[in-house]
Structure 1
Amino acid sequence: MKADSNSRTGRIGVAGTNLLFEKLGWIFREQPIEDYGIDAHVEVVESNTATGKLIALQIKSGKSWFKEKTTEGFVFRGKTEHLEYWQEHSLPVMVVLYDDEEEIAYWQAVNSSNVQKTNKAWKLIIPFEQQINILSLKKIQEFSRKLTATNGYTILSFRDLSHGGAKRYSANILLSKEYAKPDMIEIVRKITAELKSSEYYRNNEVKLHWKGKEAQVIWLFLYLSLDDVSSANWICRTEWISKKLSPKFLPTKLDGEQIDDEIVIDWNKSYGELATIFDSFKVTKEAYLDSMNCILSNTKLIVDKTIEFTDMFNRKQLIEANYLDRMSQLYPEIEKLYLQVDRIGSAPTECSDLSQRFQGVMAFAHNIVLPFSEKGLETWERSNRNYLVGQAIKNYQKELLRLEFELEKIH
């Protein structure tokens, strides 16, 4: 059997990067299975002490990654799916390009200020001077703090929800254990105070508008487990609104306990009951995947027919009457499969992202044939129907690619 040269080159890149970090005294942990799109974690070591601050690495090696460059550095291009995954990752993510001939590794942080959108996807400029060596050590250390993982909690996700009238943030918080209410209140105060001065923005337009200004609204959602996060079963949620915010930009006030002049906390009285209910609907990973793959394979076959018939109709190889008849016959088949999705049961936490993508695929598949249901034929005229079908097919194909990406992550 032939050896895979790409795989071998990739292994050299991981091993070479490992060696460079070990020379700096940091702890390198390869991730060969657990994370799709993440090759390793590196832990920051300060004064010979492991800090618990981790950085996720995507490592690329081989001449092809160094072909495109600017005056500033090498150009790394990636897929939108990868960018979404890295930006939503609980750890800060760094792309590393390893030159196996020179034994040099170049790095760049994956964040909104470094990523440049292109017509097809996105790109990242990896500066020539940003090499994994002693000169970059301090800069990498500063980058290592994407989330807070001290004092018994972790900021799992952090979103900028600002608009023209208010700088607003929302965050999901995972508690490391159960706390008494007074302890949770202190955690809420601490995180809220920390996020007030955040300079994270979802795009440059928002950044230009709000840079250097304190946040005016902060929402927090506290969870006890990742299962709770996937089912949105928070133990409490909070709202902080600055007294300086103009009344016309005030969000809907949260109902709950006023813990100080500006913070309101809403305790989830049904938390335990809901957790029990959600657990009762969960199925095992193998059971979920078996059911999902069965429904998906049958759906693909039928959707392929709808795409074939639609192409024939658009090329005038199929008259409208026959097109409507064939698509109408496929509607109940897709409808039956679409309804089966709700009968699978709740996906395990490991498959939560996959489950969302799967539901998206099935929804778009259903949208393709919906205009050919009895009600659909009565509702939409020909031009509207053709537009809806075309859009649904495009969305289905895009979501199917994302689903396949999620499948690779969990295998």
Structure 2
Amino acid sequence: MKAKQTERTDRRGVALVMGEFESLGFAFREQAESDYGVDGHAELIKSEQPTGQLLGVQIKTGESYLSERTENEIVFRTDAEHVDYWLNHALPMIVCLCDADNQTIYWQAVTDETAISTGKGYRVGVPLTQILNVAAVPQLTDLLTPLVSPDRYTIFKTEDVSHGLAKRYSFKVVVNGTASKAEIASIVRQVTTYGAKRRYHRNHMVEERWGDTDAHVVWAFVYISAEDEARCNHFCRSLWICDSLDDEARPLPMIGENIGNDIIVDWSGNYSFLAQHTSTNSLTKEDYLYAVIPLIDELKRLLDRIGGQLLYLKNGDITEDSFLTATDADREHTNDIYMAISAMSVAPFECKDMDDRLECFIACMDNIALHYSEKGRDTWSAPNRLELALQQRSYAIANLEALEYELKKVR
């Protein structure tokens, strides 16, 4: 099968751009898989070491891209979808127009100033004097992604989630202060590179399996604040998979933006909504405690009464019908409290641990009632529902102890 002329032309352009960037002290990585609007990444190399500072590169080759000109520039035309993608990308983007016959590459950064709407699409003016060569290095360097100091972020949690086929780490990262999208992408790259070199193992069996091996898979979850982390509201999540990892050992791929070094980032579309919801619906500490303490006291009384009747039932002192009659009102009241707590506004950040324990406690209490509801009696046999309800009673007692401990901490 013959290669299409356009494909051969495109390959000439990619090869030309790659060679020029390499000669200028950059590592150029072509995108192995099709990435909408990005053909490759150029990373600055200093003292033979990668810097983590990158550019995204879109390459266009052929006379059709060079034909429309003014006195000073080549006019590159594109659509709104591409421009929006480039302007919102975590990497700074440049367009390279290749004159393969004359071995010349014209380039321009894609910014709000250079991408001009025409009403039907966009035009980007690429100066005829702006050629990809040694004279362009200072300008290209100014465009690179920023370097972010390690004190700009904190790794809140490191998890070894390895299995027998792959060494894998997951990191939770909280940004210290405000950061741009490009800076967050830089943080993700740093955490991923650092994380892949870690030697933490969750137990001796994992250590025996993987020993001094670098990680094959690294996930990172980035949060703007400690409160976001506590509420699992990530700003973005990322995934890196080692090229050499066998297909059967690979996790499900992540759909998102390649920010360099084959790290894929999924920027959360719900972050702002959830953050705003939390901000506008959070209770003050006093309002939260005023609301929940009476409910906790009432739940303790219900636990004593329902739990006591369960023990009578277990010991054969009463029949199940007697249990149902004696606890009918209490079980209904338990469900009412469960619904009331579920409908409450968000607990304040300083009460988050307490609120988590309260949710566990009320869930166990409601599960006791669930097993003896009409649906529960249809689902489980009498011995099974008694065993399950007694188990939930034990869980409720344990969670109540933890809840009272957390309550002492916040009062």
Same fold (TM over 0.5): yes
What's the CA shift string for 1:234-255, capped at 9, x where partnerless? 2211111111221112111111
Distance 1:327 1:164 in 2: 50
Unmatched 5+ stretches in structure 1: 1-148
Contact 2:314–2:386 (Cα < 8 Å) also in 1: no
| Distance verdict in 2 for CA 1:207–1:403, change over 3 Å | farther
1:281-292 aligned at under 5 Å gives the runs 281-292=281-292
Matched, 1:265 2:299: no
Distance 1:205 1:188 in 2: 29
Distance 2:389 2:329 in 1: 15
Q: Which residue is 1:371 aligned to?
A: 371
Structure 2 counterpart SS, 1:201:
coil
Q: Which residue is 1:72 aligned to?
A: none
What's the CA shift string for 1:165-213, capped at 9, x where partnerless? 2221111111112222222222111111111121222222222222211
What is the CA-CA distance between 1:328 and the residue it aligns to? 3.4
What is the CA-CA distance between 1:314 and the residue it aligns to? 1.8
What's the CA shift string for 1:14-39, capped at 9, x where partnerless? xxxxxxxxxxxxxxxxxxxxxxxxxx
* Amino acid aligned to 1:224: I
Distance 1:211 1:408 in 2: 43
What is the CA-CA distance between 1:359 and the residue it aligns to? 0.1
Distance 1:267 1:346 in 2: 24
Distance 2:365 2:220 in 1: 35
Between Structure 1 and Structure 2, how many residues are aligned? 264
What is the CA-CA distance between 1:301 and the residue it aligns to? 0.4
Structure 2 counterpart SS, 1:219:
strand
Distance 1:401 1:201 in 2: 32
Contact 1:157–1:172 (Cα < 8 Å) also in 2: yes
* Amino acid aligned to 2:282: K
Distance 1:302 1:239 in 2: 47
Please, what TM-score do these two structures have when normalized by structure 2?
A: 0.61
* Amino acid aligned to 1:220: A
Contact 1:368–1:389 (Cα < 8 Å) also in 2: yes
Q: Which residue is 1:236 aligned to?
A: 236
Q: Which residue is 2:309 aligned to?
A: 309
What is the CA-CA distance between 1:261 and the residue it aligns to? 4.2
Q: Which residue is 1:275 aligned to?
A: 275
User: Mean Cα displacement is larger for which, 186-195 or 264-273?
Assistant: 264-273
Structure 2 counterpart SS, 1:397:
helix
Distance 1:400 1:231 in 2: 22
Contact 1:327–1:372 (Cα < 8 Å) also in 2: no
Q: Which residue is 2:168 aligned to?
A: 168
Distance 1:181 1:150 in 2: 16
Q: Which residue is 2:179 aligned to?
A: 179
Q: Which residue is 2:74 aligned to?
A: none
Contact 1:168–1:216 (Cα < 8 Å) also in 2: yes
Matched, 1:210 2:175: no
What's the CA shift string for 1:24-59, capped at 9, x where partnerless? xxxxxxxxxxxxxxxxxxxxxxxxxxxxxxxxxxxx
| Distance verdict in 2 for CA 1:328–1:378, change over 3 Å | farther
* Amino acid aligned to 1:265: V
Please, what TM-score do these two structures have when normalized by structure 1?
A: 0.61
Distance 2:401 2:164 in 1: 35
* 4+ residue runs over 3 A deviation: none
Structure 1 counterpart SS, 2:306:
helix
Distance 1:275 1:400 in 2: 30
1:353-364 aligned at under 5 Å gives the runs 353-364=353-364
What is the CA-CA distance between 1:278 and the residue it aligns to? 1.8
Q: Which residue is 1:196 aligned to?
A: 196
Contact 2:152–2:177 (Cα < 8 Å) also in 1: yes
* Amino acid aligned to 1:366: D
Distance 2:298 2:332 in 1: 13
What is the CA-CA distance between 1:268 and the residue it aligns to? 2.2
Q: Which residue is 2:136 aligned to?
A: none
1:41-56 aligned at under 5 Å gives the runs none
Contact 1:226–1:349 (Cα < 8 Å) also in 2: no
Contact 1:328–1:372 (Cα < 8 Å) also in 2: no
Q: Which residue is 1:136 aligned to?
A: none
Contact 1:365–1:392 (Cα < 8 Å) also in 2: yes
* Amino acid aligned to 1:401: E
Distance 2:303 2:250 in 1: 46
What is the CA-CA distance between 1:393 and the residue it aligns to? 0.8
What's the CA shift string for 1:217-236, capped at 9, x where partnerless? 11111111122222222221
Contact 1:364–1:393 (Cα < 8 Å) also in 2: yes
Structure 2 counterpart SS, 1:243:
coil
Structure 1 counterpart SS, 2:193:
helix
Contact 2:302–2:334 (Cα < 8 Å) also in 1: yes
Q: Which has more radius of gyration?
A: 2
Q: Which residue is 1:347 aligned to?
A: 347
Distance 2:384 2:324 in 1: 14
Q: Which residue is 2:39 aligned to?
A: none
1:400-411 aligned at under 5 Å gives the runs 400-411=400-411
Structure 2 counterpart SS, 1:151:
helix
Q: Which residue is 1:97 aligned to?
A: none
Structure 2 counterpart SS, 1:265:
strand
Distance 1:292 1:327 in 2: 23
Q: Which residue is 1:226 aligned to?
A: 226
Unmatched 5+ stretches in structure 2: 1-148
What is the CA-CA distance between 1:373 and the residue it aligns to? 1.0
Q: Percent identity?
A: 31
User: Mean Cα displacement is larger for which, 321-330 or 249-258?
Assistant: 321-330
What is the CA-CA distance between 1:163 and the residue it aligns to? 1.7
Contact 2:313–2:319 (Cα < 8 Å) also in 1: yes
Q: Which residue is 2:54 aligned to?
A: none
What is the CA-CA distance between 1:376 and the residue it aligns to? 1.2
Distance 1:340 1:284 in 2: 18
Contact 1:327–1:369 (Cα < 8 Å) also in 2: no
